[in-house]
Amino acid sequence: MIQLHTDEILVELNGAVLTITINRPQKLNSVTKPMSDALVAAVGWANDSDDVRCVVLTGAGDRAFCAGSDIRELDTYASPWNFRNRTDYCDALRELRKPVIAAVNGYAFGGGLETALSCDIRIASTSASFAASEVKLGWIGGGGMSSYLTQSIGPSNASLMLMTGEPIDAERARDWGLVTEIVSADGLMERAMQLASTIASRPPIAVETAKINVAAAAELGREQAIAYERDLQTICFATEDAREGRTAFAERRPGVFHRK
């Protein structure tokens, strides 16, 4: 198990599900440079580990999932160019090859919203709220905010969030397609772990390929996307896991998959 050099990012492996917790609740789980470095390290370890088949990302406490970068640190960068080229936690999450579920408890503001958007599946507690809040301070998000919001909720809704900076509640987020489900605060992690366990039980190469395919489908034209999907299907079909899936189906037993 990876050892991180901060207690403000926690990792725990339960079976094949890795839980990553942003653990700075007294500061609404805002992210510092050491925390960003730890998230990058955790993602690298998860990518390299065959023991990890799904990831759940959440925030400690019940007030915030993540309030983005710690604003008080932003002036410590030597120049805007240094800030532009910083190691970014959202970039790291987009490099995560394993499926990742955001369990959003409380505020997902600024970079915290980008963090949630960088995950594959988002579920929210009834108390969750979401805001592209950077515009209130004189800048915009830089971790994929505009692209992800436009794809998730459409240009008009994205413009409303990006230009006002005002929060939306969990119900509106679900209605707009920003989150998949809303659950009670005390049932959030249970539901997230249930989903993660289901995904982790599936053949891992097929699941990781499905993740790649969804990302491609959002970017490619339809015919290109279908051709790419067919290529990915062919690759999956040639794996030992796919052969085991066919054999298990014929023998009417659960499959045993080894990511091969």
Q: What is the pLDDT of residues 210-223, one digit of tens each?
A: 999 998 888 888 89
156/134: higher pLDDT:
156
CATH number assigned to the domain covering 9-200: 3.90.226.10
pLDDT grade for 183, boundaries at 50, 70 and 90 = very high
Structure tokens given for 222 = 């339809």
pLDDT in tens, 235-249: 888 898 988 888 988
CB 206 within 8 A of CB 235: no
166/73: higher pLDDT:
166
User: In DSSP terms, which residues pair with 168 in a beta bridge?
Assistant: 130
pLDDT above 70 (res 77)? no
Closest of 177, 168, 181, 178 to residue 125, by C-alpha:
181
- Gap between the Cα atoms of 96 and 149, Å rounded: 20
Domain boundaries, the chain: 9-200, 204-251
Per-residue pLDDT at 144: 85
Per-residue pLDDT at 3: 80
User: In DSSP terms, which residues pair with 31 in a beta bridge?
Assistant: 69
pLDDT in tens, 3-24: 888 899 999 999 999 999 999 9
Domain 204-251 has CATH 1.10.12: yes
Per-residue pLDDT at 78: 62
- Gap between the Cα atoms of 189 and 58, Å rounded: 8
- Gap between the Cα atoms of 34 and 194, Å rounded: 31
Structure tokens given for 232 = 């990915």
